[in-house]
Structure 1
Amino acid sequence: MAITEGLAVLPSILIVEDDADIAGMLVELMRGNGFEAFSAANGVEMDRLLARRGFDLVVLDAMLPGEDGFSICMRLRASRPIPILMLTARREEVDRILGLELGADDYVTKPFNSRELLARIKSILRRASLSQRREDVCVPLTFAGWRIDPNSRQLFDADGDEVSMTTAEFDLLWAFCCNPNKVLTREQLLSMTHAGSAGPIERSIDAHVSRIRQKIEPNLKDPAFIKTVRLGGYLFAAAVERQP
């Protein structure tokens, strides 16, 4: 959430939706619940708005003319850390998992409940805001040459290069690093990363784990760090040390 001269600025939401009626309804819903809201009908309009101002979250429709939402999600995630909530009429689970694997922080299907949508948006923004304002009470941790810093919310590889991560991915990896060599169930991981608030379905943990593995594992076919425990959950099998 942006801060200007000590005064909190309303969280700003960018809605990328080609249906004018739905876009208008969402803008009205956001503005009526304490947010700034702007809309774009496609990826080109979205890029123009992003070039002119900052946003705290993007609500992104999957089915867009021209470049579709999945492609836009992947492109956004590669270039900036802005949280993304995908909104679509495609209800198949494979589409939902795909959206999360491409970097979305959450996924809501149409028709949607306005209260649930607001709860999920507030949950994402709350996690992002708390992360940005977190005081220096935790020290960075290291594992196998990697360094994860909870204060700056950054992950660095063995060469010192920063690796881009979504809010959900960072929270999940941090939870693993704080609990090395312990089997953590999906329910425990959801609780650790979403603090009991409205969040993505339990299956989303699998999607986020998949994306983290793509970034840190030397061999995806035989993960060295995040091990899957059959009927249990996951285990972070790395030696974790506190950075002096």
Structure 2
Amino acid sequence: MTDKETVLIVDDEKEISDLIGIYLKNEGYAVLKASDGLEALEVLKKSEVHLIILDIMMPKMDGIQACMRIREEKNMPIIMLSAKSQDMDKIMGLSTGADDYVTKPFNPLELIARVKSQLRRYTRLNIPNEKKKDEIDIGNLSINVATHEVIVDGKEVKLTPREFDILELLARNKGIVFSIEKIFESVWKEDYYESDNTVMVHIRKIREKIEMNPRKPQYIKTVWGVGYKFEN
């Protein structure tokens, strides 16, 4: 990976910390280490960390306390490590904000697989704002503004430029009712004429392409006497 993602290993057992570090570095990750919860909090103040592997049983500040403190400010994935395998220990670890729980002794390859899985999820949820502006996801409908692609139930749907503009307008403003006049003037950039049914025709065509049942639309709802809105 070009921009290395950084993993913080928090464990007072040096052999385990070193072993995990070797596997992570082999996968291209940058590695930071701390031997207890207090030291981990200091590392987080100074360095950008994308995932934490956090042992529960440690001196000074254990993993449960550290996890609770970290979650007050940070949302990166946390994988708990523990020699205990009882369900209550797992529940306690996960209820304090951990994303995953691995019992010692563990297979390092399994731990690495979990690291990759958590980082993929974290990356998806934290896409930079510039990318988010280009993508609108509602239910089974995905709209990519940059590429003008519309995906419904995993299949691409072809819309005309005007249809796409109407869909984007409504989808960006979920729950807000737009009058036919407002839609026309926003999309066509012209004055609306009372007898013009252009918008209604376009709405009908959009529904035929994105709705499972155009007569009972899931996405674009008619607000009688007012206009249209995208279902929130």
TM-score by length of 2: 0.55
- Which whole-Å CA distance do the structure 2 matches of 1:77 and 1:131 have between them? 16
Which of 55, 64, 68 is equivalent to 2:62?
68
Residue 5 of structure 2 is aligned to residue 11 of structure 1 = yes
CA deviations on 1:6-39 (whole Å, 9 max, x unpaired) are: x941110000000011111111111111111111
Determine if contact 1:74/1:102 at 8 Å carries over to the other structure. yes
Which residue is equivalent to 1:211? none
Inter-CA distance 67–131: structure 2 relative to 1 (3 Å threshold): same
Structure showing greater Rg: 2
CA deviations on 1:27-54 (whole Å, 9 max, x unpaired) are: 1111111111111001222122111111
Residue 85 of structure 2 is aligned to residue 86 of structure 1 = no
> When the two structures are aligned, how many residues end up with a matched partner?
137
Determine if contact 2:38/2:60 at 8 Å carries over to the other structure. no
SS of match in other structure, 1:79 = coil
Alignment of 1:172-211 (within 5 A): none
Instruction: Read off the aligned partner of 2:9 and give its amino acid letter.
Output: I
- Which whole-Å CA distance do the structure 1 matches of 2:58 and 2:27 have between them? 26
- Which whole-Å CA distance do the structure 2 matches of 1:33 and 1:242 have between them? 44
Determine if contact 1:13/1:35 at 8 Å carries over to the other structure. yes
Inter-CA distance 73–138: structure 2 relative to 1 (3 Å threshold): same
| Post-superposition offset of 1:132 | 2.3
Determine if contact 2:41/2:70 at 8 Å carries over to the other structure. no
SS of match in other structure, 1:137 = strand
- Higher RCO (CA < 8 A, seq sep 6+): 1
SS of match in other structure, 1:60 = strand
| Post-superposition offset of 1:138 | 2.2
Which of 38, 46, 54 is equivalent to 1:52?
46
CA deviations on 1:38-95 (whole Å, 9 max, x unpaired) are: 1100122212211111100000000010111111111111221121000111111110
Which residue is equivalent to 1:41? 35
Residue 103 of structure 2 is aligned to residue 124 of structure 1 = no
Determine if contact 1:83/1:105 at 8 Å carries over to the other structure. yes
Instruction: Read off the aligned partner of 2:137 and give its amino acid letter.
Output: C
SS of match in other structure, 1:108 = strand
Instruction: Read off the aligned partner of 2:136 and give its amino acid letter.
Output: V
| Post-superposition offset of 1:131 | 2.1
Determine if contact 1:86/1:107 at 8 Å carries over to the other structure. yes
| Structure 2 residues not aligned, in runs of 5+ | 140-229
Which residue is equivalent to 1:234? none
Which residue is equivalent to 2:137? 138
| Post-superposition offset of 1:123 | 0.4
Alignment of 1:102-113 (within 5 A): 102-113=96-107
CA deviations on 1:175-223 (whole Å, 9 max, x unpaired) are: xxxxxxxxxxxxxxxxxxxxxxxxxxxxxxxxxxxxxxxxxxxxxxxxx
- Which whole-Å CA distance do the structure 2 matches of 1:34 and 1:80 have between them? 23
Determine if contact 2:12/2:36 at 8 Å carries over to the other structure. yes
Inter-CA distance 41–242: structure 2 relative to 1 (3 Å threshold): farther
Determine if contact 1:139/1:242 at 8 Å carries over to the other structure. no
- Which whole-Å CA distance do the structure 2 matches of 1:126 and 1:113 have between them? 20
Instruction: Read off the aligned partner of 2:44 and give its amino acid letter.
Output: L
- Which whole-Å CA distance do the structure 2 matches of 1:31 and 1:118 have between them? 10
Aligned-residue identity in percent: 36
Determine if contact 1:14/1:39 at 8 Å carries over to the other structure. yes
| Structure 1 residues not aligned, in runs of 5+ | 1-6, 141-240
| Post-superposition offset of 1:139 | 5.5
TM-score by length of 1: 0.53
- Which whole-Å CA distance do the structure 2 matches of 1:8 and 1:130 have between them? 18
